[in-house]
Amino acid sequence: MRTERHWQRARQVSEQARRKGALVPLDTLLLAIPGVEPFVVRQLLSSTPRHLRQGGPRPNPFLPWDSPLEVTLLEPAHVLLLNKYPVQEAHLLVITRDWRPQGGWIEASDWQAVRQVSQDTGGLWFFNSGARSGASQPHRHLQLLPRRPGEPSCPLAPLFLAQLAGTMAPWDWAYSLDRRTDPEGGSDLADLYLAHCRALQIGDPRCNSEPLHPYNLLFDDQWFLTVRREREHGAGFSVNALGFAGFLLSTEGSDREWLERHGPWSLLAHVAAARA
Looking at domain 5-48+66-271, does it have CATH number 3.30.428.70?
yes
Distance from C-alpha of 40 to C-alpha of 115, rounded to nearest angstrom: 28
Residue-wise pLDDT for 4-25, tens only, equals 999 999 999 999 999 999 999 9
pTM assigned to the model: 0.96
Residue-wise pLDDT for 174-221, tens only, equals 999 999 999 999 999 999 999 999 999 999 999 999 999 999 999 999
| Domain coordinates in residue numbering, the chain | 5-48+66-271
